Chain A
Amino acid sequence: IDVPDEHQMDSNLTGFRWKRVLNPTGPQPRPRHGHRAINIKELMVVFGGGNEGIVDELHVYNTVTNQWYVPVLKGDVPNGCAAYGFVVEGTRMFVFGGMIEYGKYSNELYELQATKWEWRKMYPESPDSGMSPCPRLGHSFTMVGEKIFLFGGLANESDDPKNNIPKYLNDLYILDTRGVHSHNGKWIVPKTYGDSPPPRESHTGISFATKSNGNLNLLIYGGMSGCRLGDLWLLETDSMTWSKPRTSGEAPLPRSLHSSTMIGNKMYVFGGWVPLVINDSKSTTEREWKCTNTLAVLDLETMTWDNVTLDTVEENVPRARAGHCAVGIQSRLYVWSGRDGYRKAWNNQVCCKDLWYLEVSKPLYAVKVALVRASTHAL
Chain B
Amino acid sequence: PTPSESSSTISAPSESSFSEKMEHSYMRDTPVRSDVSNGLMPARNILVHHPPQCPSCHTYPPQQEELSEMQQAHVPPYDEIAAKEAMNECARIAKYVKNNNSDEQDWVTRVNKFNWTPTQETVFERVCTILDQDQLARLANDKRQHEPIHRRISSDKSASRFRKLLASVAWESRITQWIHALLMEHLSPSYMASYLEILQTLKTKLPTLVDKMLFGRPLNNSQELLAPVMKKRWEPNILPKGRQLTHNAIMVVLPTMPTSGTVSDRMQKWYQSLATITQVVQISLPNTNNRIGNQNLDQVSETIVSLTRVKINELRTDNPSRGIILVGFNAGSALALQVALSESVACVVCMGFAYNTARGPRGTPDDRMLDIKAPILFVIGQNSARTSQEEMEGLRERMQSESSLVVVGSADDALRVPKSKRRIEGVTQSMVDYMVVEEVFEFVNRTLSNPPGPRMPTSLMHQQGY
Within 8 A of B (CB), among A301-323: 322-323
Known: A83-B24, A198-B10. 19 other contacts (CB 8 A): A26-B80, A30-B74, A54-B26, A57-B77, A70-B78, A70-B79, A70-B239, A82-B26, A154-B16, A166-B17, A169-B7, A170-B8, A191-B6, A193-B2, A199-B10, A226-B12, A346-B66, A346-B71, A348-B70
The 15 sampled A-B contact pairs (Cβ below 8 Å) are: A52-B70, A54-B27, A79-B242, A99-B24, A101-B27, A154-B20, A168-B16, A171-B6, A171-B7, A195-B4, A226-B13, A342-B22, A345-B67, A346-B35, A346-B66
Nearest CB in chain B: distance from A21 CB, A:
16
Nearest CB in chain B: distance from A186 CB, A:
18
Pick the contact of B24 from A69, A77, A138 — CB < 8 Å? A138
State whether the Cβ of A241 lies closer than 8 Å to any Cβ in chain B: yes
State whether the Cβ of A361 lies closer than 8 Å to any Cβ in chain B: no
Q: Are B13 and A285 in contact (CB under 8 A)?
A: yes
State whether the Cβ of B55 lies closer than 8 Å to any Cβ in chain A: no
Task: With A199-B8, A199-B9, A285-B13 as known contacts, state yes or no: A53 contacts B20, CB within 8 Å.
Answer: no
Within 8 A of A (CB), among B32-89: 32, 35, 42, 63, 66-67, 69-71, 74-75, 77-80, 82
**Contact partners of B9 in chain A: CB under 8 A:** 155, 167-171, 199
Closest 3 CB pairs of A and B: A50-B26, A345-B66, A193-B1
**Contact partners of A346 in chain B: CB under 8 A:** 35, 42, 66-67, 70-71
State whether the Cβ of B367 lies closer than 8 Å to any Cβ in chain A: no
Within 8 A of B (CB), among A276-322: 284-285, 322
A196 CA to B35 CA in the complex, in Å? Answer: 47
**Contact partners of B4 in chain A: CB under 8 A:** 192-196, 242
A49 CA to B27 CA in the complex, in Å? Answer: 10
Q: Which residue of A lies closest to B16 (CB)?
A: A166
Nearest CB in chain A: distance from B166 CB, A:
37
Nearest CB in chain A: distance from B431 CB, A:
11
A323 CA to B25 CA in the complex, in Å? Answer: 11
State whether the Cβ of A237 lies closer than 8 Å to any Cβ in chain B: no
A239 CA to B13 CA in the complex, in Å? Answer: 34
Task: With A99-B24, A345-B63 as known contacts, state yes or no: A72 contacts B239, CB within 8 Å.
Answer: yes
A198 CA to B16 CA in the complex, in Å? Answer: 15
Q: Which residue of A lies closest to B244 (CB)?
A: A79
Q: Are B12 and A53 in contact (CB under 8 A)?
A: no
Q: Are B23 and A53 in contact (CB under 8 A)?
A: no
Q: Are B23 and A323 in contact (CB under 8 A)?
A: yes
Q: Are A322 and B23 in contact (CB under 8 A)?
A: yes
State whether the Cβ of B11 lies closer than 8 Å to any Cβ in chain A: yes
A348 CA to B32 CA in the complex, in Å? Answer: 11
Q: Which residue of A lies closest to B20 (CB)?
A: A166
Pick the contact of B29 from A193, A198, A348 — CB < 8 Å? A348
Q: Are A226 and B15 in contact (CB under 8 A)?
A: yes
Task: With A72-B239, A166-B16 as known contacts, state yes or no: A196 contacts B6, CB within 8 Å.
Answer: yes
Q: Are B69 and A345 in contact (CB under 8 A)?
A: yes
**Contact partners of B31 in chain A: CB under 8 A:** 347
Interface centre among A77, A102, A138, A350 (most CB of B within 10 A): A102
State whether the Cβ of A137 lies closer than 8 Å to any Cβ in chain B: yes
Q: Are A70 and B241 in contact (CB under 8 A)?
A: no
Task: With A70-B239, A72-B239, A285-B13 as known contacts, state yes or no: A170 contacts B23, CB within 8 Å.
Answer: no
State whether the Cβ of B288 lies closer than 8 Å to any Cβ in chain A: no
Q: Which residue of A lies closest to B70 (CB)?
A: A346
**Contact partners of A57 in chain B: CB under 8 A:** 77
Task: With A34-B24, A138-B24 as known contacts, state yes or no: A72 contacts B3, CB within 8 Å.
Answer: no
Q: Are B70 and A77 in contact (CB under 8 A)?
A: no
Give chain B's interface residues, CB within 8 Å of chain A: 1-13, 15-17, 19-20, 22-32, 35, 42, 63, 66-67, 69-71, 74-75, 77-80, 82, 145, 239, 241-242, 244
**Contact partners of B11 in chain A: CB under 8 A:** 157, 165, 167
- Per-residue B-contact encoding for A190-224, CB less than 8 Å = 1, 0 else: 11111110110010000000000000000000001
The count of chain A contact residues (Cβ–Cβ below 8 Å) is 72
Q: Are B27 and A102 in contact (CB under 8 A)?
A: yes
**Contact partners of A139 in chain B: CB under 8 A:** none
Q: Are A53 and B6 in contact (CB under 8 A)?
A: no
A63 CA to B427 CA in the complex, in Å? Answer: 26
Q: Are B16 and A350 in contact (CB under 8 A)?
A: no
A256 CA to B20 CA in the complex, in Å? Answer: 12
Nearest CB in chain B: distance from A14 CB, A:
31
Q: Are B24 and A137 in contact (CB under 8 A)?
A: yes
Q: Are B77 and A27 in contact (CB under 8 A)?
A: yes
Task: With A51-B26, A52-B27, A99-B24 as known contacts, state yes or no: A194 contacts B1, CB within 8 Å.
Answer: yes
A114 CA to B61 CA in the complex, in Å? Answer: 45
**Contact partners of B16 in chain A: CB under 8 A:** 154, 166, 168, 224, 226
State whether the Cβ of A25 lies closer than 8 Å to any Cβ in chain B: yes
**Contact partners of B78 in chain A: CB under 8 A:** 27, 70
**Contact partners of B69 in chain A: CB under 8 A:** 345
Q: Which residue of A lies closest to B65 (CB)?
A: A345
Q: Are B26 and A49 in contact (CB under 8 A)?
A: yes
Q: Which residue of B lies closest to A198 (CB)?
A: B10
Within 8 A of B (CB), among A154-168: 154-155, 157, 164-168
Q: Are A241 and B6 in contact (CB under 8 A)?
A: no
Nearest CB in chain B: distance from A139 CB, A:
12
A83 CA to B24 CA in the complex, in Å? Answer: 8
Task: With A25-B145, A54-B27, A193-B1 as known contacts, state yes or no: A72 contacts B66, CB within 8 Å.
Answer: no
State whether the Cβ of A109 lies closer than 8 Å to any Cβ in chain B: no
Pick the contact of B32 from A83, A196, A347 — CB < 8 Å? A347
A196 CA to B10 CA in the complex, in Å? Answer: 13
A77 CA to B243 CA in the complex, in Å? Answer: 12
State whether the Cβ of A225 lies closer than 8 Å to any Cβ in chain B: yes
State whether the Cβ of A107 lies closer than 8 Å to any Cβ in chain B: no
A172 CA to B19 CA in the complex, in Å? Answer: 23
Nearest CB in chain B: distance from A182 CB, A:
26
**Contact partners of B42 in chain A: CB under 8 A:** 346
Q: Are B70 and A345 in contact (CB under 8 A)?
A: yes
Q: Are B241 and A172 in contact (CB under 8 A)?
A: no
**Contact partners of B77 in chain A: CB under 8 A:** 27, 57, 70
**Contact partners of A53 in chain B: CB under 8 A:** 26-28
Nearest CB in chain B: distance from A84 CB, A:
11
Q: Which residue of A lies closest to B21 (CB)?
A: A164
Nearest CB in chain B: distance from A275 CB, A:
13
State whether the Cβ of A56 lies closer than 8 Å to any Cβ in chain B: yes
Interface centre among A154, A256, A346 (most CB of B within 10 A): A346
**Contact partners of B74 in chain A: CB under 8 A:** 30
State whether the Cβ of A266 lies closer than 8 Å to any Cβ in chain B: no
